[in-house]
């Protein structure tokens, strides 16, 4: 079978560079395009060199349409507005669109629906095996422990992260809510400050810490009467997300159009 031809958008970013490295070390995939925004300082640089590798002969360019025309899939870790624009373009070209971008509002997330009618989208707040397994465990724990166990999700990330709570924290919150048979939207307690009053029963609380170079730490605390269970994950290298994204692109190629998750990719939906 021919190699899957991939474009990395946001190729100069932290995840963009990790994705280029992951593609260069994997079998069955090849980098055919590297895209950055118009005016980016990385334009014209070799994507391999930018990622700390020998030159790959793929320059960073600002013409996504030309790159998408010769590709099978696009790996996208950028911003919500940028990912929405690329979703429309990728669907037009029939590409698998892997979206790792976080920070979508509910309204923005809903705008992916038209693209998902004609193309394969795989979107997840976390592409690692470990976090997706953790989500399945959290769902099970929430279902088992019942309402007298309060659920709090604590995350810490590097000082450059721009959205909170993290996409992973929200994914874990969704899993906890699903385990309880409730909707996260009705129970999320985000950003407590001042005279908040006592904790509402059934709430799922979020706390976000930012600092240094932390790749991504998440703890889900189940605090019950006189005992606590903490389920957690610590990401040590962005390559775990990049390798997951590659797996998603390979899994999605040839699938029926739709919006899929990493749980679909990893076969974790029925746990």
Ligand X SMILES: O=C(O)C1=N[C@H](C(=O)O)C[C@H](O)C1
Quick one: which of 123, 139, 161, 247 contacts ligand X (CB under 6 A)?
161
- Residue whose entry in the numeric block shows the structure tokens 């334009």: 43
- Rule CB under 6 A: say whether 264 interacts with ligand NDP: no
- Rule CB under 6 A: say whether 56 interacts with ligand NDP: no
> Of the two residues 78 and 93, which places its CB atom closer to ligand NDP in the complex?
78
> Of the two residues 36 and 152, which places its CB atom closer to ligand NDP in the complex?
36
Inter-residue contact 19 to 45 (CB < 8 Å):
no
Q: How far is the CB of 127 from ligand NDP (least distance, A)?
A: 4
- Rule CB under 6 A: say whether 37 interacts with ligand NDP: yes
Whether 161 is catalytic is yes
- Rule CB under 6 A: say whether 132 interacts with ligand X: no
- Rule CB under 6 A: say whether 132 interacts with ligand NDP: no
Inter-residue contact 49 to 65 (CB < 8 Å):
no
Is residue 143 classed as helix, strand or coil in its secondary structure?
helix
- Residue whose entry in the numeric block shows the structure tokens 């990385």: 42
Inter-residue contact 95 to 121 (CB < 8 Å):
no
Inter-residue contact 119 to 249 (CB < 8 Å):
no
The site string for ligand X over 86-125 (x = CB under 6 A, - otherwise) reads: ----------------x----------------------x
Which H helix or E strand runs over 127? none
- Rule CB under 6 A: say whether 101 interacts with ligand NDP: yes
Nearest CA to 47 out of 20, 22, 9, 18 is that of 20
Please pick, among 157, 187, 218, 233, the residue that the annotation labels catalytic: 157
Whether 218 is catalytic is no
Q: Give CA–CA dist 248/122, Å, rounded.
A: 7
Q: φ and ψ at 204, to 5 degrees?
A: -120, 110
Site for ligand NDP in 222-251 (CB under 6 A): 241
129-145 and 167-180 are packed helices; what angle lies between their axes, rounded to 10 degrees? 30
- Enumerate binding residues for ligand NDP (CB under 6 A): 9-10, 12-16, 35-37, 40, 77-78, 82, 100-103, 124-127, 167, 241
- Enumerate binding residues for ligand X (CB under 6 A): 102, 125-126, 157, 161, 166-168, 216, 235
Task: Detail the residues annotated as belonging to a binding site for NADP(+).
Answer: 37
């Amino acid at each position: 079978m021919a190699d899957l031809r991939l474009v990395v958008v946001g190729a100069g970013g932290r995840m963009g560079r990790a994705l280029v490295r992951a593609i260069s070390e994997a079998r069955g995939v090849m980098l055919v395009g590297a895209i950055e925004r118009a005016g980016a300082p990385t334009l014209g640089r070799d994507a391999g060199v930018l990622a700390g590798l020998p030159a790959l002969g793929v320059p960073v360019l600002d013409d996504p349409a030309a790159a998408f025309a010769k590709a099978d899939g696009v790996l996208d870790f950028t911003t919500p507005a940028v990912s929405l624009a690329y979703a429309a373009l990728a669907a037009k070209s029939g590409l698998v669109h892997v979206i790792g971008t976080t920070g979508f509002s509910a309204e923005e997330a809903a705008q992916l629906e038209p693209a998902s009618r004609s193309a394969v989208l795989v979107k997840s707040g976390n592409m690692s095996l470990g976090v997706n397994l953790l989500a399945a465990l959290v769902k099970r724990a929430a279902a088992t422990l019942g309402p007298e166990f309060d659920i709090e999700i604590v995350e810490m990330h590097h000082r450059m992260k721009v959205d909170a709570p993290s996409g992973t924290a929200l994914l874990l919150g969704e899993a906890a809510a699903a385990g309880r048979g409730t909707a996260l939207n009705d129970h999320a307690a985000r950003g407590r400050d001042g005279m908040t009053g006592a904790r509402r029963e059934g709430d799922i609380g979020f706390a976000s810490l930012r600092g240094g170079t932390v790749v991504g730490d998440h703890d889900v605390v189940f605090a019950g009467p006189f005992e606590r269970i903490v389920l957690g994950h610590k990401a040590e290298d962005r390559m775990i997300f990049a390798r997951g994204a590659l797996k998603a692109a390979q899994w999605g190629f040839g699938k029926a159009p739709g919006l899929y998750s990493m749980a679909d990719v990893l076969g974790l939906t029925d746990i």
